[in-house]
Amino acid sequence: MVDGRRACTHERLRRARSSLSSLVSAGTLFTYLDPALAKAGPLPSTNNMIEGGVNSQLRGVLRNHRGLTSVKRVKAVFWWCHAHSGDARTAREKLATMPTDADIDFLFSVYSASPSREDGGPEWGDRAVWEDLHHRDPYPFWLD
């Protein structure tokens, strides 16, 4: 009992179940399981092929080589991208286009510097700002 009213013990769980139920009945969730859509062939369970194809491979390379310095981690990512690009150039030609340690240090210094305005606030576009991605009000932005 809350304020003299009956209240569910697991209100958040009931809301989540209701939300999933309404999305499934509307046909907007698990659409890849629809047999009518799969007539031309199997559909992927996600539309974000870069997460499972490229990004997870890069994270795997960095995870397998955890002891590398930041410069060598950047070079490992560059080398993986060059090796899997399908480029017909030789390794010598690819190495000629790879960034040097000085290039990487310069990029780190440029992009890690925090430019600020006269009033001390961050410059527009210098990095993600928490308030840009999260709303302080209790109502979700999609209800506006």
- Distance, in Å, from the CA atom of 81 to the CA atom of 20, rounded to the nearest integer, reads 38
Phi, psi dihedrals of residue 65, rounded to the nearest 5°? -125, 60
Mean pLDDT taken over the chain: 76
Phi, psi dihedrals of residue 116, rounded to the nearest 5°? -135, 155
What does the pLDDT read at residue 144? 45
Model confidence at 64, pLDDT cuts 50, 70, 90, reads very high
- Distance, in Å, from the CA atom of 141 to the CA atom of 26, rounded to the nearest integer, reads 21
CA end-to-end span of the chain: 32
71 and 101 in contact (C-beta within 8 Å)? Answer: yes
Query: Cα torsion for 90, 95, 98, 100, to the nearest 10°?
Result: -170
pLDDT tens digits along 66-102 = 888 888 888 888 888 888 888 888 888 888 888 888 9
What does the pLDDT read at residue 122? 58
pTM: 0.45
What does the pLDDT read at residue 143? 47
